[in-house]
A and B are shown apart, each in its own frame.
Chain A
């Protein structure tokens, strides 16, 4: 059946995506698109539509735009792939095609918006909307108050928040974040090194965690979930980024939720719903460091005694007796490292390549 001008106009009126116009493109999509487009251009050509010059011209212009969109999607590799998520916020439209990464409370959709990669962090239940709002609140403050300072590098980049209605009718809170390229979570590191790391490798990771915590605590923010999956490290520049601020609270307020797979890593005041403080975060950071060093509940005996003693002081169950100053712990830790290994040197850290 040959396409008429009228048929083409109808087709474009109903279309929301270029796939609606050009259809499936088969094994050689570039050629197929070229053929389709050429046939449609002929249908819309003013010479073939005497007396409908204006309509034909307008249809041609629209067709040209659709063609450009189709070419862009082919180049991105997204032509014909179903959209997983789409959100139009202000002038920006975020679109994601990849399956979401599943977190405890949220689904993370890799997407693009305004030509830049973005992570759309979506509350799985509207009941967690308050936690996403808490993250937005904390990150907004951290991003603005720390702008231009070196410590800013230890925190993720927050773009914006909105509510998005899902197909079941729930309004779910979305935080838009920038993805951290070339970074691994300490959960991934622990999976790659199940026996633990050399103390000198674990050392810089612990240092970055402490610097992030010291900065946040200075702004009266408790992270509330310093866990392997929430600390990213970048081997290339030895940066560390403390992510997932959903559990964060103001100093003195109780933590509202925990990450259940890590329930055993929380200090007692969290499940008792007592106020969280800087000491709460330090307990969890020390627990994380023990894991990095290859320990479980206790640091392994191979770890130098002064490091063991420092970690134990962060793991005292009573929060009032525990270390509570992240900067002080960082300073003490640096002094211990200096005594043990001499002045700091850059020790390359490699993640095994995934086959």
Chain B
């Protein structure tokens, strides 16, 4: 997966075509709604699969970036924002030198205890296919009265059903952004995992354990849009904080999701050490000034506590004779 190139021109051409023909980017969602048959798109189905982010000749140093959003209730606007701003996100990541070869996976979560399509997971894609994956998302839009969504199911998938060259070959963690205004369940239910992913677990997996496993391979951030139905709820914010600390990003406006992701990656990659500079980068890449400022505000607490990043320096180093990681527990 992920062998084509992100072409800004191709994305723009497709967007212009959509506008001219008045078609929506979310073709699958429209199809489901008009046909009334609710099921996950075949290519977004997480059952029995592993998603891979691989290096290729064109992308020798792929970096896995997963963006998984809550598609229930008021959060349904996030994929639309993502779709509209995808171009700017990729422009900033690549052209500002934050990441040379991003491979982006999109996914969506609902509530596994009541939604029909609780988990949708696309492929890691470098090119225009990532825009296509967004098109295959079914936007649940339902959302019950409860304040839980099955984020833990998505995290489980990322921890156990993805394979990334950035980590396996280079020890470089990928990125996972979960976006939503509700709480994850306290553990991964073995029944739900069996039903939707196909794994047979002996017992339910506590969320804390799962997170420890996930964070070995991914820099994980959770974005809480604070202007949505539950996002402003201090209990929900506290719940996420207890799990992820400063890696919970409070975003005043969900329209700034792409900008927030770009800045976070810039910070973690060490290519950006000043949020103000990052915000200026975003504006230069065509983002809205307000959205860039909102994103910078959301990241300020994290930037303050972020451990210093080891910079890459130039030099000469022979290849290692052996791997020498036999002592890993």
Contacts and interface: CB of A to CB of B under 8 A. Distances in A.
A166 B313 contact: no
A140 B323 CA distance: 26
A124 B310 contact: no
A260 B313 contact: no
A124 to B, nearest CB: 4
A236 interface: no
A105 B320 contact: no
A38 interface: no
A133 B322 CA distance: 20
A164 B326 CA distance: 22
Interface residues of B, number: 28
A85 B315 contact: yes
B101 to A, nearest CB: 13
Interface in B280-329: 307, 310-329
B171 interface: yes
A220 interface: no
A180 B314 CA distance: 27
A201 B46 CA distance: 63
Contacts of A288: none
B318 A166 contact: yes
A227 B172 CA distance: 29
Given A105-B324, A170-B170, A171-B170, A86 B311 contact: no
A104 B323 CA distance: 10
A212 to B, nearest CB: 22
Nearest to A122: B317
B318 A124 contact: no
Nearest to A133: B310
B317 A162 contact: no
B325 A162 contact: no
Given A170-B169, A171-B171, A171-B172, A124 B320 contact: yes
B141 to A, nearest CB: 40
A255 B329 CA distance: 8
A88 B315 contact: yes
B329 A271 contact: yes
Contact of B313 (A87, A125, A254, A259): A87
Nearest to B314: A88
Contact of A258 (B307, B311, B315, B329): B329
B326 A260 contact: yes
A171 B324 contact: no
Contacts of A87: 313-317
Contacts of A162: 310-313
B328 A257 contact: yes
Given A162-B311, A162-B312, A167 B171 contact: no
A57 to B, nearest CB: 31
Contact of B315 (A86, A125, A137, A257): A86
Interface SS of chain A: mixed
Contacts of A125: 171, 320, 323-325
Nearest to A161: B310
Interface in A168-220: 168-173
Contacts of B312: 162-165, 171
Interface string B3-37: 00000000000000000000000000000000000
Interface residues of A, number: 47
B320 A107 contact: yes
B310 A136 contact: yes
Contacts of A84: 318
A171 B312 CA distance: 8
Contacts of B307: 137
A30 to B, nearest CB: 27
B329 A257 contact: yes
B138 to A, nearest CB: 37
A61 to B, nearest CB: 26
Given A130-B171, A170-B170, A171-B171, A164 B317 contact: yes
Contacts of B168: 127
B323 A124 contact: yes
A170 B318 CA distance: 10
A183 B191 CA distance: 58
A258 to B, nearest CB: 5
Contacts of A260: 326-327
A128 B319 contact: no
Contacts of A86: 315-317
B319 A258 contact: no
A211 B327 CA distance: 27
B59 to A, nearest CB: 13
Contacts of A106: 324
A89 B171 CA distance: 21
B318 A105 contact: no
A83 interface: yes
A239 to B, nearest CB: 28
A270 B170 contact: no
Contacts of B316: 83, 85-87, 167
A173 B313 contact: no
B208 to A, nearest CB: 12
Contacts of B60: 169
A324 interface: no
A164 B313 contact: yes
Interface centre among A136, A171, A258 (most CB of B within 10 A): A171
CB-CB nearest 10 A-B residue pairs: A126-B171, A87-B315, A168-B319, A124-B324, A129-B171, A86-B316, A166-B317, A163-B312, A124-B320, A125-B323
25 contacts: A86-B316, A87-B315, A87-B317, A88-B314, A105-B327, A124-B322, A125-B323, A125-B324, A125-B325, A126-B169, A128-B325, A130-B171, A137-B307, A163-B310, A164-B312, A164-B313, A165-B317, A166-B319, A167-B317, A170-B169, A170-B319, A170-B320, A173-B171, A260-B327, A270-B329
Interface of A: 83-89, 94, 104-107, 122-130, 133, 136-137, 161-173, 254-260, 270-271, 273
